[in-house]
């Protein structure tokens, strides 16, 4: 194991330890009561079960799906194929209007950018899944994603729907080089599975801070050199650098694009951070992007927002990072 890999493991361990120290280990998820307001005719509650739980300012959503074998999936008349794959959209409403949010969608929990919801709407989507067998879809969303709602108890409606059934039909065709397989992607947009559920959400005060990144420089000394980290025949051996923001500490919040073949990332980045307390801490991690293997960690830092708001530009150093210029600008409670 090379020293970069060892350092990466140490960085992750530090972040996870910080995360667990900041939480009450005795807390357990609490069930969130809800009532169904509507559901599609083909949806039976025993075949499509919804559960809501919350803990640590996070809402957990679970959908257990076990459709009967004779469920009326769409049938493509041309090819005779049954379309059994789909993805689900989950959108939140308040007072009859879709809730707006600047929440940064994370791919850590199978979130994607294929939702038909308008930009800026609090809506998440599952990956495409095959409903011929039992499935359990899980989502989690932090309470700060509801920053447009006034603090206090609010009655929220969650609407769940499938927006497209799909299947892949493979047929054999004849070409100049002989026979070959051709794939035809079939779709059907009939809404067969949908429901809406109302529940009370105790929205906490949500603070807003702006995190400005002004660039970073890696060390180059007797103990570490960025040269040789990416040995390819296509480019230089310098790393492809990006950095990530963690909030709460140890949990992904946002990340930058990566800059190729450099020891000095000079991107100017701005992240709008929503958090719960004025004295909150954040995590910063710097990485070397790799297309063929796991990204290498170059260093991690954990500390209070207050430390990053002292000067116009605050310089910190950690791990293999010689200097990281950053600023936190506190905006106060937004709801």
Per-residue confidence (pLDDT) for residue 36, from 0 to 100: 95
Per-residue confidence (pLDDT) for residue 53, from 0 to 100: 97
**Whole-Å CA distances, 149 to 122, 193, 271:** 12, 28, 21
Higher pLDDT, 6 or 333: 333
Please say if the pLDDT value at position 4 is more than 90.
no
Per-residue confidence (pLDDT) for residue 307, from 0 to 100: 96
Q: Tens digits of per-residue pLDDT, 248-290?
A: 998 999 999 999 999 999 999 999 999 999 999 999 999 999 8
* Confidence bin at 106 (pLDDT 50/70/90): very low
- Class at the top of the CATH hierarchy for domain 3-21+206-333: mainly beta
Separation CA 174–CA 155 (nearest Å): 59
Lowest mean pLDDT among 11-25, 194-208, 248-262, 311-325: 11-25
First to last CA, the chain: 48
Q: List, in sequence order, every residue forming a beta bridge with 265; answer none if it has no partner.
A: 216
The mean per-residue pLDDT over the stretch 96-102 comes to 94
Please say if the pLDDT value at position 231 is more than 90.
no
Please say if the pLDDT value at position 74 is more than 80.
yes
The mean per-residue pLDDT over the stretch 93-99 comes to 97
CA angle 240, 242, 245 (to 5 degrees): 165
Lowest mean pLDDT among 108-112, 119-123, 217-221: 108-112
Q: List, in sequence order, every residue forming a beta bridge with 270; answer none if it has no partner.
A: 212
Burial of 71 (0-12, 13-18, 19+ CB in 10 A): middle
Q: How remote is the C-alpha of 87 from its chain's centroid?
A: 16
Domains of the chain by residue range: 3-21+206-333, 34-202
**Highest mean pLDDT range out of 2-16, 141-155, 177-191?**
141-155
* Confidence bin at 171 (pLDDT 50/70/90): confident
Per-residue confidence (pLDDT) for residue 102, from 0 to 100: 87
**What pTM did the predictor assign?**
0.82
The mean per-residue pLDDT over the stretch 49-71 comes to 95
Please say if the pLDDT value at position 32 is more than 70.
yes
What is the average pLDDT value for the chain, to the nearest integer? 86
Kindly report the number of other CB atoms within 10 A of residue 39's CB atom. 17
Per-residue confidence (pLDDT) for residue 205, from 0 to 100: 97
Lowest mean pLDDT among 6-10, 112-116, 267-271, 275-279: 112-116
Q: List, in sequence order, every residue forming a beta bridge with 156; answer none if it has no partner.
A: 199
Per-residue confidence (pLDDT) for residue 109, from 0 to 100: 36
Higher pLDDT, 11 or 162: 162
Separation CA 287–CA 5 (nearest Å): 11
Per-residue confidence (pLDDT) for residue 19, from 0 to 100: 44
Please say if the pLDDT value at position 18 is more than 50.
no
**Whole-Å CA distances, 79 to 187, 191, 218:** 12, 21, 58
Please say if the pLDDT value at position 112 is more than 70.
no
Please say if the pLDDT value at position 118 is more than 80.
no
Secondary structure of the chain in HEC code, one letter for each residue: CCHHHHHHHHHHHHHHHHHHHCCCCCCCCEECCEEEEEECCCCCCCCEEEEEEEECCEEEEEEEECCCCCCCCCECCCCCCECCEEEEEEEEEECCEECECCCCCCHHHCCCCCCCCCCCECEEECCCEECCCCEEEEEEEEHHHHCCCCCEEEEEEEEEEEEEEEEEEEEEEEECCEEEEEEEEEEECCCCCEEEEEEEEEECCCEEEEEEEEEEEECCCCCCCCCCCCCCCCCCCCCCEEEEEECCCCCEEEECCCECCCCEECCCEEEEEEECCCCCEEEEEEEECCCCCCCEEEEEEEEEHHHHCCCCCEEEEECCEEEEEEEEEEEEECC
Lowest mean pLDDT among 101-105, 220-224, 236-240: 101-105
Please say if the pLDDT value at position 195 is more than 90.
yes
């Amino acid at each position: 194991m090379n020293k970069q890999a060892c350092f990466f493991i140490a960085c992750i361990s530090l972040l996870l330890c910080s995360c667990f120290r900041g939480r009450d280990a005795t807390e357990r998820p609490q069930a969130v009561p809800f009532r169904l307001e509507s559901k599609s005719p083909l949806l039976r509650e025993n075949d499509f079960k919804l559960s809501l739980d919350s803990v640590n300012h996070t809402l957990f959503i679970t959908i257990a799906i076990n459709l009967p074998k004779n469920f009326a999936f769409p049938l493509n008349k041309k090819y005779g194929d049954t379309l059994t794959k789909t993805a689900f959209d989950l959108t939140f409403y308040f007072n009859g209007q879709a809730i707006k949010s600047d929440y940064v969608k994370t791919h850590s929990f199978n979130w994607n950018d294929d939702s038909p919801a308008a930009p800026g709407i609090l809506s998440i989507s599952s990956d495409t899944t095959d409903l011929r067998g039992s499935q359990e879809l899980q989502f989690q969303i932090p309470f700060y994603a509801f920053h447009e709602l006034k603090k206090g108890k609010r009655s929220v409606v969650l609407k769940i729907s499938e927006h497209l059934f799909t299947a892949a039909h493979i047929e054999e065709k004849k070409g100049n080089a002989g026979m070959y397989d051709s794939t035809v992607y079939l779709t059907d947009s009939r809404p067969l599975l949908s429901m809406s559920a109302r529940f009370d959400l105790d929205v906490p005060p949500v603070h807003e801070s702006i995190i400005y990144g002004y660039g970073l420089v890696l060390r180059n000394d007797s103990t570490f050199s960025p040269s040789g980290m990416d040995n390819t025949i296509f480019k230089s051996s310098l790393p492809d650098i990006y950095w990530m923001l963690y909030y709460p500490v140890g949990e992904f919040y946002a990340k930058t694009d990566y800059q190729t073949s450099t020891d000095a990332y000079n991107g100017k980045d701005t992240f709008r951070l929503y958090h719960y307390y004025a004295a909150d801490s954040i995590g910063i991690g710097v990485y070397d992007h790799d297309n063929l293997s796991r990204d290498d960690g170059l260093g991690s830092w954990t500390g209070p927002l207050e430390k990053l708001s002292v000067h116009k530009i605050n310089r910190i150093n950690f791990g293999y990072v010689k200097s990281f210029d950053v600023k936190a600008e506190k905006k106060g409670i937004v709801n």
